Amino acid sequence: MAINYTKSAKEIIKAVGGDENINSLTHCATRLRFILNDDKIVNKDEVNKIEGVITTMEAGGQFQVVIGNHVKDVYELIMQDIKVDDSKASNSNNKNKVGVFSRIIDVISSIFAPFLYTLAACGILQGLLGVMVALGWLDTAGGTYRILNFVSWTGFTFLPVLIAITAAKKFGANIYVAVVTACALVNPDFMKMFAANDFLNNASADPKVQSMITQATNNPDTMKLINDVLGIPVLSQPLDFLGLPIKMLSYTSSVIPIILAIWILSYVQRFFERILPSVIRNLFTPLLSLVIIVPMTLLVFGPVGSTIGGAIGDVYNFLYGLSPIIAGAIVGGFWEVLVIFGVHWGITPVTVGNYASLGYDTFTALQASAVFAQAGAALGVFFKSRDSAMRGVALPAAITGFFGITEPAIYGVTLRLKTPFIMGCIAGAIGGAIAGAFRSVSWAYNMPGIATLPAFFKSGHATEFIGLLISIVVAFVLGLVLTYVVGFKEEAK
């Protein structure tokens, strides 16, 4: 019988303390993420009994309700019945009750979750294009390929814009000012200045180049010709703002700089809203905010954010470089443990940063084994269990896990029975070690699953792709076999 999600949504609202107790609500791929005014009045047992709810947990200052694939439907139904604003999350009374790490995880999950599937779709399209080119089905010089190719890169090129939208909601900033701020960082004119500045800094030591630059800056016709033909504006000296030198960085696909910018924007905006007379507030608040935030981002937040993001990525890549096999075993074995505690979002900036700086990511390839291992463990439960109700849950959970969503398998099956979850982690560790041994990588952002396998393929890198396939097959089969052979204690009825 189909689940009545309208009824379930109303019951969830009541069980968490009603409309007045909900400070804000967001959702990720499988979970509702509540920030509540008073956690103590939540009836967790009642929430867990609601039809369609897999389980509940508390992490990162949030009360999380795991729904599964229908989480978006339940979220929209709840939002129709309550009167809250996502931006209120930044002003939650609970924010002082959680640690800094939990707050960071909360921010990352709130920012990335809304557009994660869109970003993954772009990554899958990149992978599919690579496969079709390798098979000779598409010509890279043809219009079809070129159009689909720039579509596949658009989500990453303008990633700061997507982040600005969700970050503005999270921090309580004006969404439109946030979007303009992000657009300024990926503005084609700014990108041209970036190219010109790079050319000036790297080539100006050549006397011939210096002479050409001097002639161009003194001759409007030459300047126009270079700009029109090459698309590069002529700069007589490195770019600065009010005499302060600007470190030229590419902000396409960047993460931390725009998050810092919108966070500070929320404070700047509130400051001007507080001090400006109402007659000029609506116009001058966004005006002054933009005039301050965009230059500050270019001067401060951009370099600082890029340094932080680069450092985090360098630490992971250094550890991976020490031993890809050990790294694979750790990631494959413990990834789903991070999922349980809701802290897996912390790795997202690292993976996105790797795609931007390296053009590929190793972590996602290691993570894939963990996903398929839990799907295999759930299928092992289906074959082994004598409980018809558990079998009815295990099969669809295994299928869902096969497509990259493991929460139903974990919370509905393997973790409930404990031993299958452990077997899945062991299988994931072995699969991850194999992926590490082959140095398998992902060439485009994705959430590992059977439908996203093209993102791991690239012409000329067949060995890495074959290694990835071997790793997930081994993880899946081992998860199934270990669960079936070792067995588990059936839940008491």
Strand partners, 33: 26, 64
Q: What is the tens place of the pLDDT at every residue in 473-493?
A: 999 999 999 999 998 887 655
Query: How confident is residue 85, by pLDDT bands cut at 50, 70 and 90?
Result: low
Q: Is the pLDDT of residue 104 over 80?
A: no
Cα–Cα distance for residue pair 13/246, rounded to 1 Å = 50
End-to-end CA distance of the chain: 22
Q: Which of 28, 122, 183, 425 is catalytic?
A: 28
The b/e string for 425-460 (b: 16+ C-beta within 10 A; e otherwise) is bbbbbbbbbbbbebbbbbbbbbbbbeebbbbbbbee
> Crossing angle of helices 116-134/143-157, nearest 10°?
150
For residue 465, the model assigns a pLDDT of: 95
Which of 356-370, 430-444, 450-464 tops mean pLDDT?
A: 430-444
What's the alpha-carbon Rg for the chain, to the nearest Å?
25
3-state secondary structure of 457: coil
Indicate the pairing of strand 31-36 with strand 22-27.
antiparallel
Strand partners, 245: 240
Q: What is the mean pLDDT of residues 240-245?
A: 79
pLDDT above 90 coverage of the chain, percent: 30
For residue 362, the model assigns a pLDDT of: 92
Both tokens of residue 55? 């389980």
Higher pLDDT, 308 or 433: 433
Q: Does 28 participate in catalysis according to the annotation?
A: yes
Q: Is the pLDDT of residue 74 over 60?
A: yes
Q: What is the mean pLDDT of residues 244-248?
A: 77
315 contacts: CB under 8 Å, gap ≥ 6: none
Query: How confident is residue 231, by pLDDT bands cut at 50, 70 and 90?
Result: low
For residue 226, the model assigns a pLDDT of: 54
For residue 245, the model assigns a pLDDT of: 78
For residue 316, the model assigns a pLDDT of: 82
Indicate the pairing of strand 244-245 with strand 55-59.
unpaired
**Cβ–Cβ under 8 Å, residues 43 and 1:** no
For residue 444, the model assigns a pLDDT of: 86
For residue 3, the model assigns a pLDDT of: 81
5-98: CATH topology:
Gyrase A; domain 2 (3.30.1360)
Region of poorest pLDDT, from 99-103, 245-249, 297-301, 413-417: 99-103
**Cβ–Cβ under 8 Å, residues 472 and 464:** no
Higher pLDDT, 350 or 162: 162
Q: What is the tens place of the pLDDT at every residue in 258-313?
A: 999 999 999 999 999 999 998 998 999 999 999 999 999 989 888 888 787 777 77
Residue 449 has, within 13 A of its CA and on its CB side, a CA count of 17
For residue 250, the model assigns a pLDDT of: 75
Q: What is the mean pLDDT of residues 182-210?
A: 66
Region of poorest pLDDT, from 168-172, 323-327, 357-361: 357-361
